A = this chain, B = another copy of it.
Amino acid sequence: MAVAELSPSYTKTHFHSSQLSFLSTRLANFRHCAFRPLPRARNSLTISCSVAPNQVEAPVAVKNEEPKNKTECYGVFCLTYDLKAEEETKSWKKLINIAVSGAAGMISNHLLFKLASGEVFGPDQPVALKLLGSERSFQALEGVAMELEDSLFPLLREVSISIDPYEVFQDVEWALLIGAKPRGPGMERAGLLDINGQIFAEQGKALNAVASRNVKVIVVGNPCNTNALICMKNAPNIPAKNFHALTRLDENRAKCQLALKAGVFYDKVSNMTIWGNHSTTQVPDFLNARINGFPVKEVIRDQKWLEEEFTEKVQKRGGVLIKKWGRSSAASTSVSIVDAIRSLITPTPEGDWFSSGVYTTGNPYGIAEDIVFSMPCRSKGDGDYELVKDVIFDDYLLERITRTEAELLAEKRCVAHLIGEGIAFCDLPEDTMLPGEM
C-alpha cells in the first residue's frame, strides 16, 4: 500500500531508536531500574531514579541478566527485576508493554492509574507503561511518571516517557491513542481531519515499524474513526482487525439513558450497538437492544421518545457535561476505554455483545467496505473479536446507518493523501460535530 502522500515535515523529526542501539552493548554489567530512565536524547528524559547499586548491602531479588535490545535504557540507571525470583511474583504473567499517547492529558491521567493498579489486566499481570507526549507537555509527563512512582503499584514495573512514537511503541502489545488536537476556533472539520490525520499516519508508521506484530490499537483521539483508518493504513504489517475506534462511551451512555427511561438499573440493558461514526451522526440502536432480555420497544412503548429524544440525548450528553462540569468527560471516557479493553480480553457474556469502531471489510451488514465503522462485536477473550450476525434492521435504522456511512466515506475522501489514495477531495455532507463539541 502506498503511503507516499504523507506529510514529510512531521516524519523527518522523529528520532530512530536504532540510532541508540549501540548503547545497549554497554549495559551488560549494570543492573536495570524499576523506572527505566531514558537516554537524555533530544526527545526523551530520565525519570528521577537515584539508584546507587554500591549502597545495596542487603540481599535484593535483582537479576544480572543480558539486557534485551532496550535502546531507551542506558548508564548505570537500569535495573530489571526477575519476577520469577520472588515468592509473591513468580506466578505472574510476562510483563506487557502498553503505550498511551496524550499521556499528559486528563483522560490519560485517569487511565494510566487504572492500567497500573491492575484493575484492567488483572492482579497477576505486571505492566510497563510507555507514555507518549509532546515537546510542550514534557514536564507534565514527568509529573505523571512521578505520581505513578508515588502510588507504589506493585504491578507497575516500568515507566518511560518520550515524544518519539518510534521509541514509545517498541514492542508494545497495546497502543491506546488518546492524544489529538482539539478543533480550534474557526477550524473546518476538514482542517481537523488533516492535522490529526498526520499525527495518526505517523503513529501508524511507527507501530508498523516497531510494535508487537499483534498489537491492539484503540484510537480515542478525534475524529477517532478516520484517525483509526489512517493509522491502520499506515501500518500494513499489523492485522487491520487490530484497530479500534472508541465508541464505548456512546454505548454506555445509550444504555444509561434506556435504563433511566425504563426505570431499571443500567445493568439490565444489553445488546446495545452504536453504529457508525463517533460523531453526531452516530446511531444508538434501540431496535436490537434489550432490557431484561426483552426488546427495548416492548419495554419502552414510546416510539416518539425512542426515535426523537433518545438518540439526541446520547449524542448531546458530552456537550451537556462540558457545560455543567466546565471540561470534557475525562473520567467516564477512561472508564469506557477500560471497558473496551476488558471486552477484548474477557469472553463476551452469552447472547450479549459490545460496540467498537472496526474495519468494515467483510462485514455482513452491507456497510461500505474499507472504512472504520462502529458495529456489534463479540470476543472469546483472546484480544480478537467477531462481528455479530443476528441483528435486525428496519427502515429507520437503515436510513440512519446510511447517513453515518456517507459521513465516514466523505471523511475518507478528505484524508486520501494520508492513506495512499491520491489527492484529497473534501466534500463533507455537513460540518457535523464531535460528541461534546459546542
Contact = CB atoms under 8 A, between A and B. Distances in A.
Interface string A328-360: 011110011001000000000000000000000
A266 B146 CA distance: 13
A367 interface: no
A182 interface: no
Given A58-B292, A294-B58, A321 B264 contact: no
A60 interface: yes
Given A58-B291, A152-B256, A299-B57, A146 B321 contact: yes
A55 B262 CA distance: 6
A342 B25 CA distance: 44
Interface string A183-222: 0000000000000000000000000000000000000000
A252 interface: yes
A253 B150 contact: yes
Interface stretch (A45-53, A94-102, A274-282): A45-53
Contact of A150 (B264, B317, B323): B317
From A31, A148, A265, A324, name the one whose CB has the most chain B CB atoms within 10 angstroms.
A265
A378 interface: no
A302 interface: yes
B263 A79 contact: yes
Contacts of A57: 294, 298-299, 301
Given A60-B292, A325-B143, A325-B144, A151 B331 contact: yes
Contacts of A323: 139
A253 B154 CA distance: 14
Interface stretch (A109-117, A238-246, A396-404): A109-117
A260 interface: yes
A6 interface: no
A147 B300 contact: no
Contact of A267 (B52, B154, B263, B320): B154
A255 interface: yes
A113 B292 CA distance: 26
Contacts of A146: 317, 320-321, 324-325
A140 interface: yes
A138 B120 CA distance: 32
Contacts of A56: 262-264, 299
A82 to B, nearest CB: 11
Nearest to A150: B332
Nearest to A83: B265
Given A55-B263, A109-B331, A263-B53, A143 B292 contact: no
Contact of A252 (B152, B324, B332): B152
Contacts of A53: 263
B263 A324 contact: no
Contacts of A117: 119, 335
A364 interface: no
Nearest to A58: B294
Interface string A280-302: 00000000000111100011111
A261 B52 contact: yes
A168 interface: no
Interface string A55-71: 11111111000000000
Nearest to A147: B332
B142 A58 contact: no
B140 A326 contact: yes
Nearest to A295: B58
A302 B59 CA distance: 18
Given A152-B255, A291-B58, A335-B113, A147 B329 contact: yes
A74 interface: no
Contacts of A261: 50-52, 55
Contacts of A62: 263-264
Nearest to A324: B143
Given A140-B326, A144-B331, 4 more contacts: A55-B300, A60-B268, A143-B325, A151-B336
8 contacts: A34-B259, A55-B302, A57-B301, A58-B292, A117-B119, A150-B256, A150-B329, A152-B266
